[in-house]
Structure 1
Amino acid sequence: MLPEAGERAGDPSSPRERRPDAGPGGTGIWRAAGEGPPAGGRTRALRGLGGFGVLAGVLVALIILPVACTAGVGARDAADWFQSEPEGLDTGGVPQRSRILAADGSTLATFYYENRVDVRLDQVAPVVRRAVLAIEDSRFYEHGALDSQGTLRALVSNLGSGEVTQGGSGITQQYVKNLLFTQAESEEEQLAAKEVSAARKIRELRYAVALERRLSKDEILARYLNIAYFGGGAYGIESAARHFFSKPASRLTLPEAALLAGVIRYPYAYDPVRRPAAARARRDVVLGRMAELGWITRAEADAALRRPLGLRVHNTPNGCVTSFAPFFCDYVQREILTNPVFGATRKERERLLKRGGLTIRTTLDRQTQRAAQRAVDRHVPRKNSARKAAAEALVEPGTGEIKGLVVGRRLGSDRERGKTWINFAADAGHGSSIGMQAGSTFKAFTLAAALEDDMPFGTRLMAPRGFVPTGFRDCRGRPVNSTTTLRNSADGEGGRTFSLVTGTHHSVNTFFLALEREVGLCETVKMAERLGMRRADGKPMSQFPSFTLGADQVSPLRLAAAYAAFGARGRYCEPIAIKQITDASGRRLRVPGARCRQAIDKGVADAVNHVLRGVLTKGTARGMGLGRPAAGKTGTVDDFSAAWFAGYTPDLAAAVWVGDPRGGYRYPMTNVCMDGRCYGPVFGATIPAPIWRDSMVGALAGRPATGFHRAPGRYFSKGSGEDRVDLPDVRGMPVREATARLRAAGFQVRVGGAVPSAEYPRGTVAEMTPGPGRAEPGTTVTLRPSEGGGDEPGEEPGSTPEPDPGNGGTPVTRPPLPPLVPPGPQRPRPGG
């Protein structure tokens, strides 16, 4: 059967033709939307609408008379049935595209089933409305749901042939047909929506009559303009204007409006990009029709006819591949598709994302994202010759907001070098990654558990060269021991005692195994869990002695969120990417929150911060400071299978992983060359820490620095925990020279009152407390200058000698020793 008169057949060979692109014809006079009918037209319009029900019923009955008579149904019964309200008439559910926005409101990505942006009628240029109605239905504002002239013309044809061969479809009917096709859920429903049959035609007519009762003409025209397909993947006049001319529909000119109006009938045949000659000829037909109706002057038409098409094609991306932040975008997409808060089934959630017209406002900070991407690409290029990869997650302490999420690849099939679909920065549920072993970054959780147990910084434990893990029990009280000897990652680290501070700074494996046994394996695991840590595959954390060495596979995002809790003084927040979602009507939808809680005491977090700050100044990441208060921890996985760095300020936390996606143990981070830069064994400080530093410096540029809080005094009860160094003997030296010598060696200096001394000349140092020997760096040394003379060298008559904490409380007054040369700073060997 041939297509109905006034309807577009479409081109089934076109991949763009998804809907029955119907377009009516018609003649008569039209008024611009909102202007009121022409003189005398208002009465005719009201009279036409008022008497339309009976007339329409009779006309429709006559149109389908051959079919009705065959079924034994009379024309009067058909007319009565036709005037009744149809069931299931739903004018909602038209697909609209969704947008993901960065924190500053800029667009990160769009998602759509049909690329459509609904607009009000007053947001469409009047010339566009005139052009569409001129070529589609010029009597739209004068007739009802049925154009009687067109219907009578079809009636004559149908009565002569005995079947439906023609139809006088107007704008309302075409809107109905597009609506029914758009709402079809299955292929079967879509075929039924566009089949050429009397049943389908009558259903459309009944819906059209009902809509004319419910809606004004302006509302129907607006809905038609928003639902019509214009080709090039553009649904609705707004998307069409942006696609073909890179401007909104409100700014379209006469020749542009005529071009789009002409396209509606056959979008593929009149495609301005593929068939510019046919499109121009069709545009000129529209201009001629507008002039014929008197809606533009002949001069305006002639001027428009001379204009070129003037296309400025803009293709709207669909999905995350071309996004500024593709892996963050992918994280947001997966959050919506997997979280039941957005729908009971995945199909419902996908429908919401691709058809719901959502505006998704996210937490992403463009400055942070840009800085992180540049840092990752600089140190681990996307197509590097070693095929290594990097990933980084950046989280705001105290809110859980993900400010940046970077993978050192482009989003796409890994069949092409430098691309991957796997989001290495996120858990499996948000990126298909099963995670990576975190190495020594997990030692921070053991440290936090020890500090929560009120261990002072000066607590010292023996760190043997080899540690056989015995004496461990899991949270169910079961022994979890091993006969495998665990060792340190750097030669010479071990065989002596370390404090909480120095063991952390040097990242000594055997020290932390001993510390984990001291505080309890279960307590260490629970500390990590309280700080949000879980395996990337969703399974519970392991409970084995190697837990403190980072044997579990986790994501950078989880680790960054845990370290962010330290920066927020113990306040942990679940990482979140979505701040707000509104649907097409502006209604706010429920979104998952950060569920912030005080995971550890503020004082414990302050103490952790105190220790981890030293990693950047005197530990395994020395030299990686930011020029503002910062703390962090390196991580090197067994056999150099991967390297990590996690660090933070009170304003931003980040975790960086560098490894080989093909398998770290098979392709370890040793003797690695990437685009001309070669490395021996890669530690956490070798590549991950510089990525972290560059990311943080760029992300925090222009933002005021925030300091950490001082650790509670109870943690200093056994001293600062720093390793003791040689304290030079400055007795007999001038006070100013002695002061400079001590400060250069890393000590604080206080000058006390002068004392009589027969041994040292007046004005030189007669006493120092503590005396020469070994002392912790930063210790305050009190100097007492000589007055000369005296009954007892170094002692004032009647006074009590000041105790020397570094020498058992005995005052030091012995003759001067040869001056010691203070040792230079020793860089600790990498160890985590």
Structure 2
Amino acid sequence: MLLPTACTAGVGARDAADWFESEPEDLSTSGVPQRSKILAADGSTMATFFYQNRVDVALDKIAPIARRAVLAIEDSRFYEHGAIDAQGTLRALASNLNSGQVTQGGSGITQQYVKNLLLAQADSAAEQRAAKEISAARKIRELRYAVALEKRYSKDEILRRYLNIAYYGDGAYGIEAASRHYFSKPAAGLDLAEAALLAGVVRYPYAYDPVHHPVAARERRDIVLRRMAELGWIDRRLADATARLPVKLRVQDVKSGCVTSKAPFFCDYVQREILTSPVFGRTPGEREKLLKRGGLTIRTTLDWRAQRSAQRAVDRHVPAKNSARKAAAEAMVQPGTGEIKAMVVDRKLGSNKERGKTWINFAADASHGSSIGMQAGSTFKVFTLAAALEEDLPFGTRLMAPRGYTPVGYRDCKGRRVGDPSKTLSNSADGEGGRTFSLVTGTHHSVNTFFLALEKKVGLCETAKLAERLGMRQSNGRPLEQFPSFTLGSGQVSPVRLAAAYAAFGARGRYCSPIAIRQITAANGRRMKVPGAGCKQAIDEGVADAVSHVLRGVLTKGTARGMGLGRPAAGKTGTVDNFSAAWFAGYTPDLAAAVWVGDPRGGYRYPMENLCMDGECYGTVFGATIPAPIWRQSMLGALAGTPATSFHRPPSHYFSEGSGEDKAKLPDVRGLRLRAAVAKLRAAGFKVRVDRPVESRKYKRGTVAEMSPGPGSVEPGGTVTLRLSKGAKHGRPDRRGGDGGRGGGREQVPVPPATPEPGDHGRPSPQPDRLP
């Protein structure tokens, strides 16, 4: 065989034979594409990635009958001959000539393995053409490689490698992937009929693919059965009986990528982590090759219970195809580890040309989901609060919160003056300003002008640096911008980073960068390096405990009252100026989450005022309107069955000026006439509004029957709602005043005139947590 080549090259036959028998320097058996899989924390498969759908298995994981079927039709003397089987080649030629078709292969298993190996290793189109070209040079190269491999590996190992590399049609590479694809079972469970079918496909997979060519596939299967009987490997009657059976398939498609994953945006986050991190390769091309060819097992931090809970909550409140075209996203992070437990968007992963889909991960940064981020609103006030507590300001520290605030006297970390002295910032509702607040009450009511004053007191630079210590940066990766409106959340950030920052408060000041990957194992079993959380003590434990103490009140008496979890929890609402977006970020010592709701088309162009969505109307949307209920529902589900963990009591020096609750005694005015009741309440520093009257057996008609809040210790300066008595019920109820009627309106009871405070319109204030 080598003589013509040797003569052409001008060398002797002996030299040619020596060259042929020597170990090729370029012979490598690595680089065979294998599919990678992403696993959740419990080990279940979330998604797979591949160029070729292949699962490499050991020989004992392949049914013996399947091994014999392949050997029968491809190389029955495999264990008897060397790399080149001249007898088998001549026999196959004679058999094929007699039958008029190709029934047996001329190349042995080792040669076929080499051919498949070179084709699998080909990266470029030129390499693929070289691996498939019909030429003597290619055949000699393959034969030389086959001789070398017979020296390097045992027969069993070569057979194993061949069965794992061969193409079985319809996108299935290797016998394990083929068995799962066609029969929904592992290769270890193949029976005779199934084994013969797969063995027959190998020779011409595009012609014998049983999904697209069932008749040809069955005919080829029966040829395999007859060949096995001829060799005496199975009984003739068994072969005939099996040939009478129809082909039964249970096709199971495996899709590559995150689109069909049950956690698509978390999956996409993991994918982008690998494709963008230099830990996994020097270039994007190398990293993509590793993911789609490397046979990686990627174990992640995803908690299915948290993921499903968050998805249900988001979909319930902001459905994917809602009539208002709003969107929502949530990220859940474990305090103390930085592990991302859930990441959801109220969309499916896909082109936004189809309604209800998007490629943009609104929960992540630009590097992990293409999102440019969203203004965080008043959720950023927590960093100013933490900076103040870090300077040991006690809870009772009081600052004047004017109705309008001109931002002057601020300096950034470079010492430059920042701010617009021509612009006056104000609170989101009348009546919130014009008096002093403590650290506690200013936070509970999220008073803008209070936090602008507090930020100036502790320093803009100090506030920004503290936020950066807790991992905050813009979604584009750049440092946070330093302007007076920093504390009001003017920066563009992502839910996952905000959740990680709030998680640090739950972990008593220990900040961990958000991570989604726990471990990666390569195809050869080697563990790869993965990015770590880099946990560190970002703020003192006592400072974090004090922040948690204040934020717990937001859920019980502040802007998110009624959103508690029935266990120790803390949080902060956030409403972006002009109602362009709304947030809620909250945490327990066990789990933190941040929720964003807005409009992907642009929040300023499509604000959430007078919002009606799928038949439900919200009016103006604050952080407590939609985001907080999403947070509450998702947290309740995620923490179900988890024992409650308590926060730590703050250091005593924070109480040096009292609790900061600013309680005042609210006099009991029930039973008094309206004028007397109003005078007494105003003398105590309270505002008054009158609601519709109620029936009462206890109080005379025209006197105060109910007051809200009730008498006792309350926050000073608040509004007290009075309801006058209509007397006891006699006969049919009076529907004119709205008591049980259709109107539901307020009975017009005039409030005795008083000298109003500037800006006091005598009505309750909505949550004041946005820019003007």
Q: Give, in whole Å, the separation in 1 of the partners of 2:2 and 2:663.
A: 104
Q: What does residue 236 of structure 2 align with?
A: 298
Note the 1:477-556 alignment, pairs <5 A: 477-482=415-420, 483-556=422-495
- Relative to structure 1, the CA distance from residue 505 to residue 665 in structure 2 (aligned partners, 3 Å threshold; closer, same or farther) is same
Amino acid at match of 2:582: A
Query: Secondary structure of the equivalent of 1:296?
Result: coil
Distance across 1 between alignment mates of 2:105 and 2:160: 23
Counterpart CA distance in 2 for 1:221 and 1:573 is 48
Show the counterpart of 2:313.
375
CA-to-partner distance for each residue in 1:314-344, whole Å, 9 max, x for gaps? 0112110011100000000000110111111
Following superposition, the deviation at residue 266 of structure 1 comes to: 0.8
Partner of 2:384: 446
Identify the match of residue 501 of structure 2 among 550, 554, 562: 562
- Using the alignment, how far apart are the partners of 1:344 and 1:336 within structure 2? 11
In 1, the alpha carbon distance for the partners of 2:18 and 2:593 equals 71
Distance 2:34 2:291 in 1: 9
Which secondary structure state, in structure 2, belongs to the residue aligned with residue 469 of structure 1?
coil
SS at match of 1:268: helix
Equivalent residue of 1:645, what SS? strand
Equivalent runs, 1:328-343 vs 2, <5 Å: 328-343=266-281
Kept in 2, the 8 Å contact 1:61–1:76? The answer is no
CA–CA distance in 2 between the matches of 1:618 and 1:448? 20
2:386 matches 1:467: no
Partner of 2:2: 61
Please say if 1:594 is aligned against 2:533.
yes
Secondary structure, in 3 states, of the residue corresponding to 2:118?
helix
For residue 458 of structure 1, give the secondary structure of its aligned residue in structure 2.
coil
The answer to whether 1:422 aligns with 2:360 is yes
Cα drift, residue 675 of structure 1 = 1.1
Residue 717 of structure 1: how far off its partner (Å)? 0.9
Identify if the C-alpha distance between structure 1 residues 112 and 637 changes in structure 2 by more than 3 Å, giving closer, same or farther.
same
The aligned counterpart of 2:86 is: 148
Question: How many angstroms does 1:152 deviate by?
Answer: 5.8
Please tell me whether residue 85 in structure 1 is matched to residue 23 in structure 2: yes
Inter-partner Cα distance in structure 2 for 1:575 and 1:74: 67
Number of the residue aligned with 2:198? 260
Among candidates 572, 578, 581, match of residue 520 of structure 2: 581
From 610, 614, 621, give the equivalent of 1:671: 610
User: Retained in 1: the 8 A contact 2:563–2:629?
Assistant: yes
Query: What is the aligned partner in structure 2 of residue 395 from structure 1?
Result: 333
Q: Would you say the 8 A contact 2:196–2:225 is kept in 1?
A: yes
Pick the aligned partner of 1:411 from 342, 345, 349: 349
Unaligned ranges ≥5, structure 1: 1-59, 157-165, 731-771, 778-825
- Structure 1 CA distance, aligned partners of 2:284 and 2:666? 68
Note the 1:618-629 alignment, pairs <5 A.
618-629=557-568
Q: Which amino acid aligns with 1:398?
A: G
Identical-residue share of aligned pairs (%): 79
Report 1:10-159 matches (<5 A).
60-62=1-3, 65=4, 67-150=5-88
Kindly indicate whether the alpha-carbon contact (under 8 Å) linking 2:503 and 2:591 is maintained by their aligned counterparts in 1: yes
Partner of 2:546: 607
- What is the distance in 2 between the residues matched to 1:544 and 1:273? 64
Q: Which residue of 2 aligns with 1:705?
A: 644
| Structure 1 Cα separation of the partners of residues 241 and 465 of structure 2 | 77
TM-aligned CA deviation for residue 346 of structure 1: 1.1
State whether residues 146 and 168 of structure 1, in contact with CA within 8 Å, keep that contact through their aligned partners in structure 2. no
Q: In the alignment, which residue of structure 1 is the partner of 2:592? A: 653
Aligned position for 1:323: 261
Q: Report the Cα offset of residue 463 of structure 1.
A: 0.5
Rounded to whole Å, the distance in 2 between the matches of 1:351 and 1:386 is 41
Query: In structure 1, how many angstroms separate the alpha carbons of the residues matched to 2:25 and 2:92?
Result: 27
- The aligned counterpart of 1:688 is 627
Q: Where in structure 2 are there 5+ consecutive unaligned residues?
A: 95-103, 670-710, 717-762
Give the aligned partner of residue 716 of structure 1: 655
Structure showing greater radius of gyration is 1
**CA-CA distance at 1:622 after TM superposition:** 0.5
Match of 1:195 in 2: 133
Q: CA–CA distance in 1 between the matches of 2:634 and 2:438?
A: 31
Label 1:634 to 1:775 Cα distance change in 2 as closer, same or farther (>3 A).
Answer: closer
Q: Following TM superposition, by how much is the alpha carbon of 1:514 offset from its aligned partner in structure 2, in angstroms?
A: 0.4
Quick check: 1:560–1:654 contact (8 Å CA) kept in 2?
A: yes
Classify 1:261/1:153 alpha carbon distance in 2 versus 1 (closer, same or farther; 3 Å).
closer
Q: Which letter does structure 1 place at the counterpart of 2:125?
A: E
- Aligned partners of 1:728, 1:507: CA distance in 2, in Å? 27
Q: What displacement does 1:200 show?
A: 0.4
> In 1, Cα distance between the equivalents of 2:65 and 2:213?
24
User: Which position in structure 2 is the counterpart of 1:230?
Assistant: 168
Q: Which residue is 2:394 aligned to?
A: 456
In structure 2, what is the equivalent of residue 274 of structure 1? Answer: 212
Instruction: Say which SS state the counterpart of residue 193 (structure 1) adopts.
Output: helix
Pairwise mapping of residues 199-210 of structure 1 onto structure 2 (< 5 A)? 199-210=137-148
Deviations along 1:486-517, whole A, 9 cap, x unmatched?
A: 11112211011111011100000000000000
Contact 2:74 2:105 in 1 (8 A): no
Deviates more, 1:298-307 or 1:602-611: 298-307
Deviation track 1:247-305 (CA, whole Å, cap 9, x = no partner) reads 00000000000000000011111110111111101100100110111000012112211
| Preserved CA contact (<8 Å) 1:394 1:557 | yes
Question: How many residues in Structure 1 have an aligned counterpart in Structure 2?
Answer: 672
CA, structure 1 residues 433+154, in 2 after alignment: closer, same or farther (shift >3 Å)? same
Q: 1: distance between equivalents of 2:714 and 2:578?
A: 37
So what's the TM-score if we normalise by structure 2?
0.85
> Which amino acid letter does the alignment assign opposite residue 766 of structure 2?
R
- Alignment match, 2:766: 829
Deviation at 1:724, TM superposition (A): 2.7
Is contact 2:73–2:105 with CA below 8 Å preserved after alignment? no
Give the structure-1-normalised TM-score: 0.79
Instruction: Supply the distance in 2 between the matched residues of 1:199 and 1:336 (Cα, whole angstroms).
Output: 40
Determine helix, strand or coil for the equivalent of 2:182: helix
1:221 to 159, 179, 193: 159
1:213 maps to amino acid: K
CA contact (8 A) 1:506 1:829 kept: no
| Deviation larger for 232-241 or 671-680 | 671-680
Output one character per residue of 1:696-744: Cα deviation in whole Å (capped at 9) or x when no partner: 00000111000111111111111111133225599xxxxxxxxxxxxxx
> 1: distance between equivalents of 2:498 and 2:222?
63
RMSD: 1.9
Structure 1 residues 729 and 657, CA, compared in 2 at 3 Å: closer, same or farther? closer
Which residue identity lines up with residue 431 of structure 1 in the other structure?
Answer: G
Q: 1:32 corresponds to which residue?
A: none
How far apart are residue 671 of structure 1 and its match?
Answer: 1.6
Quote the residue 2:746 is aligned against. Answer: none
The answer on 1:726 being equivalent to 2:670 is: no
Pick from 235, 239, 243: which aligns with 2:177?
A: 239
2:287 paired with 1:349: yes
Q: Paired residue for 1:7?
A: none
Q: How far is 1:351 from its partner?
A: 1.2
Q: Note if contact 1:445-1:548 (Cα within 8 Å) is conserved in structure 2.
A: yes
Aligned residues of 1:619 and 1:828 also touching (Cα < 8 A): no
Amino acid at match of 2:2: A
Amino acid in structure 2 at the alignment position of 1:831: P
CA contact (8 A) 2:500 2:592 kept: yes
2:208 partner SS? coil
Name the CA distance, whole Å, in 1 between partners of 2:559 and 2:9. Answer: 90
TM-fit CA distance, 1:77: 3.5
Partner of 1:635: 574
Structure 1 residue 532 displacement after superposition: 0.7
Query: For residue 733 of structure 1, what is the aligned residue in structure 2?
Result: none
Q: Which amino acid aligns with 1:473?
A: R
Q: Secondary structure at the match of 1:269?
A: helix
Distance of aligned partners of 1:349 and 1:182 in 2 relative to their CA distance in 1, 3 Å threshold: same
Find the counterpart in structure 2 of residue 818 from structure 1: none
- In the TM superposition, residue 827 of structure 1 has moved relative to its aligned partner by 7.6
Q: Deviations over 1:740-781 (max 9, x none)?
A: xxxxxxxxxxxxxxxxxxxxxxxxxxxxxxxx998869xxxx
